[in-house]
Structure formats: C-alpha cells, structure tokens
Chain A
Amino acid sequence: MSASIHHPHVRTFHPLHAVLLGGATVLFLGALLSDIAYARTFEIQWNNFASWLIAGGLVVAGAALVCAVIGLLPSRRTRQSVLHAVVLLATWVLGFFNALWHARDAWASMPAGLVLSVIVLVLACVATWLGCWNTRFGGTP
C-alpha cells in the first residue's frame, strides 16, 4: 500500500470563497487607483468611480465575510480562520467608513478618502492571504 496523501491538517478552501476575496481586493484596488487619479487631476469622474468601486467592494467583501463566518463553525475553526474572519470584518467596516467618506462632495472626500482606500486595500490583501495560505481548494466554503 502506498502512503496516504491525505493531509488532514490542511484546511480546505472553497473556490467561491477565493473568488470573492480576489474580487473584493481588486475592487478596492480600483478604488485606490481612482482616488490617486482624482488627486492628480481633480477630474471629478475618478471620484465617482471610486465611490462605486468601494460600494462594489463592500458587496463582494460582504459575501466573502459570510464564507469566513462559516469557517468559524466549531468543526472548521482554526486560529487562521478566526484571524481571517477578523481581518475581513475590519476590512468591511473600514470600507464602509470609506464609502461614507467618499459620499462627501468634491474635494471634501480628500485626502482622507485616499488614506482610507490604502488601509482598506492592505487589510483586504492581508485577509485574502490569511484566507488562502496553507490551504487546498475543495470542499464547502
């Protein structure tokens, strides 16, 4: 008999969870790039783009958060899955503040909006890394 290749200590990571994390990160990245473009050009359309990208990021990150909460079930909970959920929640909360901040008219959203966008993107990257590091695809989210 060959040795088993089963690694029970490796968490499974559902592809849907991965897609949601990747989507949210990219949307928050787009918001940051739009903020940078607005700050450099004062062209208001970039500010509008950033607002919608943040809103989209919140929707997708919210779905990812549901997946992360499933990872908190006793049968699945690990230190990493807890950290992932906490950081993702922080991402969402700050992202929501960022959305409110971006609702200010014209330059009133700057420069704090840009700073928030940087923080949200970093948090999203960390949450994604925590979610997928040392995992294998498969199973339920």
Chain B
Amino acid sequence: MNRSAMNSFAIDRLRLAAALSLATVLAACSGDTPPPQYGANPDLPEPTRGLMPDMVIASPAEWGDRLPIVPEGFEVRAIATNLLIPRQTLVLPNGDILVAEGRGGNAPSLKPKDVIAGPIKAAGTTQVESGNRLTLLRDADGDGNYELQTVFADNLNAPYGLALIGNDLYVANQDAVVRFDYRPGQTQASAAAPETLAELPSKINHHWTKAMTASADGRFLYVGIGSNSNITERGMVAEADRALVWEIDVATGMHRPYATGLRNPTALAIQPGSGQLWAVVNERDEIGPNLVPDYLTSVREGGFYGWPWAYWGKNVDDRVRPRNPEKVAQSITPDYSLGSHVAALGLDFSSEVMGPEFADGAFVGMHGSWNRADPVGYKVVFVPFRNGRPAGDPIDFATGFRDDDGTTRGRPVGVTVDPRGALIIADDLSNTIWRVSRTGATQAPLPPPADPQPAGTEGEGASDPAADSPSGQERSG
C-alpha cells in the first residue's frame, strides 16, 4: 500500500525544530491502518519520503497498579525493579537470572537534524544513567519471588549480549567480548576485571548493541555488530566491519565474518535441535511507514542480506552511492517479516515448558517505533514454527506497554525462556524485569548445579533506535 507522500514517512531522526510541529500535524492526519507485514512475503510499498518526518515519541508513564497483559493461563509479575537500563537476560543453570544493564554509543551529531533530534528521541526513553553492570536475580525457593537482587559485576561498558559456555560467562560489551569465570551459585564475579576475549568494532557505534549467543557445541560465539548509520550517511568508510555477524572462536579469540549485510542484528539465538543460528534484524528508516520490515531470519553462513545496497532481497535502496549491482544480486531474502519499525530487540526459542500453544516457535521482544504515525511494536510476540520454520502470523504474548493515547509504561527488549516455565522480559523504559509464567505450573526443582558441558546460549540485543542515534538513534531502529 502506498500512502500519500504527505502523511507518512518514518525517519531516523528529526530534521529541524520547526519541522516537528508540522510533523505532528501531519501525523494526526494519517489515519489509515497499515497492512500487516508478517511472514515470508510482506507487501512492500514504493519508497516514500516527504519533506517532514513522522515522529511519535512515547510518553513515559509509571506502571502503577497495572501490569502487562499476558495470555490466559499465564501470569506476570515484576521480579526486579529500579534497574539501570536492563537490556538482555541470561538464565543460568541454577535458575539465577543475569541482567545486562546499560546504554552505549557515542555517535557524534553530523548534521543540524542530529542536534535537534537527539533530545527529542531521548524523551521517549528512560532518564536513568547507564548501569554498565550485570545484576543477578535469585529465587532460591522457587516461589516465583526473586528475593535476591545483587550486582554480579560492574564497571562494564554497555554490556548487552550474554552467553554461558560451561564455566565461562561471556559478556558482549559495546567494544569487546569479555569472559568471567563462573562457578554455579556465585552471586558476584570472582575477578573484578574480566579477561578480554576479542575486541569488537566500536568506533562511532551508531548502533552499539552487541548481541551474542553461543553455538550449540560451545566452540563459537556469534556476535551481532550493527551498522554505523541508518543508510550510509556517515560514509562508507565508517561501515568497515559493521552490519554483520562475527563468529568468534572461544579457544583463540579469532574471529571471521559469519554473515554480512545485516543492518542491525539486535538479537541472536540458536534453534534447539538444528543448531541453526537465527537473528532478528532492525532494518532501515526514512523510506516510509511500511518500509523496511524488521525481520526474523535464519542466518546462512557466508550469506549477504542486502544492507546497504538492497533491502528484503533485491530491492535496491537508491540512497546509497556508489551503486553496487553485484551486491544487490547476491542479497538474500530474509525468512520472516515482523513488520516495519517494530524494533525487534529480543529473540529466544521456546520449548515445551511454555505449554502446548507456545511450545514450538520463537518469542520476539519489540521495543516499539518512534518514527511512524501509527506506532507499532511495544509488545512481545510469539512466532509459531512448524518443521523448524516460521508458520503463521505472530501471536501477541505480552502487551499493554503502550496505550493508544501514547502513554507508554514500558518498552520490551530482551526475552529469554526460563526452563522452569516462564518468559523473562527486560523492559528498558520502566527498568523492570518481567516474568511471565504459566498459571499454577509448579516450579520445576532446580537442576543440579554445574552442567559441565556447553552451551548456555542467550543473548539478544536491544538498541536504541537511537542507539541509532547518538542518544539513541537511537537512530534507531
């Protein structure tokens, strides 16, 4: 569907201050409901971009007595509050939960619009300072109440991706993958300073989040490294070693590009059984409210997914110069559209513990749009799978984060399936960790400590779209 050029254009950042009031007026005029863009073959309108951007910024509000809305048969509770920007979580073998807290990025303002848009977008995010730490949550008696909330490690640098391989806890800071020794039951890291496994590209860090997960055999870490711009507006030189997924050998720290052309791979997860790497990726802005869909995809080794020259397969993005028809021809079409501008920042595969309806599929946390007249996202969805592939439209799993009037109580980021039968949701607006558990399901007893063999894998990413922007472009998205 092509919307009129005047009423719709999502953009990354705002232009000039005077544009804002106009944009608000224009936004108010656009009432058409966007077509659902789910699945393998989303409708892709022609690129549009008017003179004025759509910007609908969340109006933060307290939760008060309210809670996220979850499906029948589930209950939700806040298991940790007053965190310092929680992004991703990791459930440890003994049931403890680690939370990565922080905000990164140091992209300078390049144009007048960057100077103006930064504070405006920041108004839709939390006002607390970056925690730069890991918090540990413990529910020792399995009653669903996490009575212990303590700092596991601090002085990190915008930690995001988390993975446990045996007794090695890996943390993806915004500039490096670091390793802690982990002993089951620990509530505080034994070493004050972790050991660096591999430096990560971190110059500018327009998209700063470093999503991470471990391979099924525990030999490799996969790290998502987002692009350094929306669409090359910081120059092609800034995009060296960006918009890709690295494979890092944990034995040596050596790395290689595993897949490229992934604009902002904000969450990675290994599919149980197949061992296949999957990612959610945030796509480019400023060519319309229904372009380009953020997506969930299996990540092919050596695959190229289009950014910056092409989107959703071989659709050319004319904003990129010089052109590169050869790269366009190589561009792989992603598996599953989640919808444009939803800002998918969390991903984890489900299992039987989530009940029959949600057993086979993946949970996706959606941070929510800010650059679209009709806001989207602001929820956690479940993408059902069949035979190892996405099958069917996403099902709302946790909603109620945002009201139609713009009142926004929370913004989901990382999602992690707790083997005790719950979904852990990090909310970086209210700085809360939510736990959505099956009603009446008795907590499984804690598994025996120390599973010497591999592969705790978690790690998702969240970016400020503004991470996107210097404040968080989030030039985000």
Q: How far is the CA of A51 from the CA of B114 in the complex (A)?
A: 11
Q: Restricting to B1-33, which residues have a CB under 8 Å from any CB of A? A: 12, 15-16, 18-19
Contact of A105 among B12, B19, B52, B236 (CB under 8 A): B12
Checking B51, B52, B230, B321 against A107 with a beta-carbon cut-off of 8 angstroms, the contacting residue is B321
Chain A 39-57: CB-based contact to B (< 8 A → 1; otherwise 0) = 0001111011001100100
Interface size class of A (residues with CB under 8 A): 20 to 34
| B322 touches A (CB below 8 Å) | yes
Main SS of chain A's interface residues? helix
Q: Among the listed B51, B112, B231, which residue makes an inter-chain contact with A51, where contact means beta carbons less than 8 Å apart?
A: B112
Contact B111 A44 (CB under 8 A): no
A102 pairs with B111, CB closer than 8 A: yes
Dominant SS among interface residues on chain B: loop
Q: Is the CB of A105 within 8 A of B286?
A: yes
**When the two chains form their complex, are residues B110 and A48 in contact, meaning their CB atoms are under 8 A apart?**
yes
Query: In the complex, are the beta carbons of B234 and A44 less than 8 A apart?
Result: yes
In the bound complex, what is the Cα–Cα distance between A105 and B9 (angstroms)? 13
Least CB distance from A116 to B in Å reads 11
Encoded as 1 (CB less than 8 Å from any A CB) or 0, chain B from 92 to 118 comes to 000000000000000000111100000
**Alpha-carbon gap, A101 to B15, bound state (A):** 9
On whether the beta carbons of A100 and B51 are closer than 8 Å, the reply is yes
Expressed in whole angstroms, the minimum distance between the Cβ of B335 and any Cβ of chain A is 27
User: A42-B321, A96-B18 known; A103 and B232 CB under 8 Å?
Assistant: no
In whole angstroms, how far apart are the Cα atoms of A105 and B117 in the complex? 14
Contact A105/B235 with A97-B51, A99-B15, A99-B112 known, Cβ cut-off 8 Å: no
- Residues in chain B within 8 A of chain A (CB atoms): 12, 15-16, 18-19, 49, 51-52, 110-113, 229-236, 286, 318-322
Provide 27 A-B residue pairs closer than 8 Å at the C-beta atoms, listed in order of the A residue. Answer: A44-B233, A44-B235, A44-B236, A45-B235, A51-B111, A51-B113, A52-B111, A55-B112, A100-B15, A100-B52, A101-B51, A103-B15, A103-B16, A103-B111, A103-B112, A105-B229, A105-B230, A105-B231, A105-B233, A106-B231, A106-B233, A107-B318, A107-B319, A107-B321, A108-B49, A108-B318, A108-B319
* Supplied contacts A51-B112, A108-B49, 19 more A-B pairs, CB within 8 Å: A43-B235, A44-B235, A44-B236, A52-B112, A55-B112, A97-B51, A100-B16, A102-B111, A103-B16, A103-B111, A103-B113, A104-B319, A105-B319, A106-B233, A106-B319, A107-B321, A108-B231, A108-B286, A108-B318
Sorted from nearest, which 8 A-B pairs have the closest CB atoms? A103-B15, A105-B233, A44-B235, A103-B113, A42-B321, A108-B319, A51-B111, A107-B321
